Structure formats: structure tokens, C-alpha cells
Amino acid sequence: MQTDDLILAEELCSHYKVELSFISSLQQFGLIEVTSVEEAAYVPQRELQKLEQIARLHYDLDINLEGIDAISHLLDRIKSMQSEITFLKNRLSMYERR
């Protein structure tokens, strides 16, 4: 069974210097998962990498959340296509070696 380490959203906000409303917006857009425990918002640790990436895109590049949502989908597609290319390259090389 997978165990999730939860981090208090407020702590993340002070660490990354972002507003709590930013994390709420990300949750509303379905970009990151946020869990509520006794009325406090928590972010699972596994979401941190994604949160950092989104914060960079939003604050450094001035991309709005709609744009980030679209980018996330495209990056997922790139990732899956890259795995498929690797698989196909390896399969092709098997026949080329014969």
C-alpha cells in the first residue's frame, strides 16, 4: 500500500514564496492534488516536483494556469511518445542486427 507524506500547504507557500490562493487555483484546475485534514490544506509530497515546475512556468515565464494546463498535457504526450520511440528503436535494432 502506498503511503503519502503530506505537507502543510501554508508551509509550502512560505517556502516557495507563493500565495495560498495559487495552490487553491492549481487544485481547481486539477493540476495538483490537495488533501484537507481538519480544515487545513495539505499537498502530498509526490506532487512537489510538479508544483515546483508549475511555479517556475507561472512566475518566471508569466504563463497563466490555462496555458500551464495545456502545457502539462503536451508534456505528458511528449513523455509517452519518447518512451514509445525508445521502445521502437530498440525493437528495430533487434531486426537490424540479424
Partner 1 sequence: MEFVDYYKILGIDKSASDSDIKSAYRKLARKYHPDLNPNDKEAHKKFQHINEANEVLSDPEKRKKYDKYGKDWEHGEEYEKARQQQQSRQQQYNYGDYNFAGSDDDGNFSDFFSSMFGRSEGGRKGKQAKFRGEDYNAELRLTLTQAYTTHQQTLTVNGKKIRITIPAGVENGQVIKLKGHGGAGLNGGPAGDLYITFVIEEHPTIKRSGNDLYTTLDIDLYTAVLGGEVTVDTLSGKVKLKVSPETQNGTKIRLKGKGFPVYKQEGQFGDLYVTYTVKIPTNLTERQKELFRELATP
Q: Where are the alpha helices (DSSP H) in the chain?
A: 9-16, 20-28, 48-55, 61, 65-96
Q: Which of 5, 45, 79, 80 binds partner 1 (CB under 8 A)?
A: 79
Residues 6+ apart with CB under 8 A from 9: 20, 23, 34, 40, 41, 42, 43
- The residue among 36 and 80 lying less far from partner 1, judged by its C-beta, is 80
Q: Does 82 bind partner 1 (CB under 8 A)?
A: yes
Q: Does 59 bind partner 1 (CB under 8 A)?
A: yes
Identify the residue whose cell numbers are 521502445.
87
- The residue among 40 and 92 lying less far from partner 1, judged by its C-beta, is 92
Is 71 within 8 Å of 37 (Cβ atoms)? no
- The residue among 30 and 95 lying less far from partner 1, judged by its C-beta, is 95
Where along the sequence are the contacts to partner 1 (CB under 8 A)? 17, 49, 53, 56-57, 59-63, 71, 75, 78-79, 82, 86-87, 89-91, 93-94, 97
